[in-house]
Amino acid sequence: MAEGTGSAALLRQLDRYLAGLRPHRDPDELELATHLAAALRRLVVETATASAADRARVRAAVHYVALRRGFPAPRGERRPTRGVAEDVRVVNDILQRLGRADLVVADPIVPAAAANRD
């Protein structure tokens, strides 16, 4: 497989992820998902020539987000939904493990909740 082919497939998965979220999410959650996808896109591009282990972590992060099971199920099928905040938490952990704290996505909901406690 050509080196860029795997990256291109991951980028297409991220595009489909965002397109699939648009009709189902509120604007704040969609904005968070857009930031998450942007961080993953950058990670995919910048790790295209990284070690196999790092590329596997990147693939895992993209697959966790893009192949999510949180969309409304077709034809009445019941599936649990997963919020974008959970995706952010998992991907941020992977970003930290890859030493890419510069790409960590801030969840605007967390600081607001902390401010309400004061």
Query: Among 85, 73, 80, 92, which Cα is nearest to 111's?
Result: 85
For the chain, the domain total comes to 1
Q: What percent of the chain has pLDDT over 70?
A: 74
Higher pLDDT, 108 or 35: 35
Question: Which residue in 112, 109, 103, 97 sits closest to 37, CA to CA?
Answer: 103
Q: Put residue 77 in one of left, alpha, beta given phi > 0 → left and psi -120 to 50 → alpha.
A: beta
Q: What's the pLDDT score for residue 60?
A: 93
Task: Please count the helices (runs of H) and the strands (runs of E) in the chain.
Answer: 5, 0
Q: How far apart are CA 10 and CA 16, in angstroms?
A: 10
pLDDT tens digits along 39-90: 999 999 999 889 999 999 999 999 999 886 555 555 555 555 678 888 999 9
Provide the b/e sequence for 81-103 (b: ≥16 CB within 10 Å).
eeebbebbeebbebbeebebeeb
- Residue 6 CA to residue 112 CA, distance in Å, equals 38
Cβ 39 vs Cβ 69: under 8 Å: no
- The residue range of the domain holding 12 is 3-117
pTM: 0.77
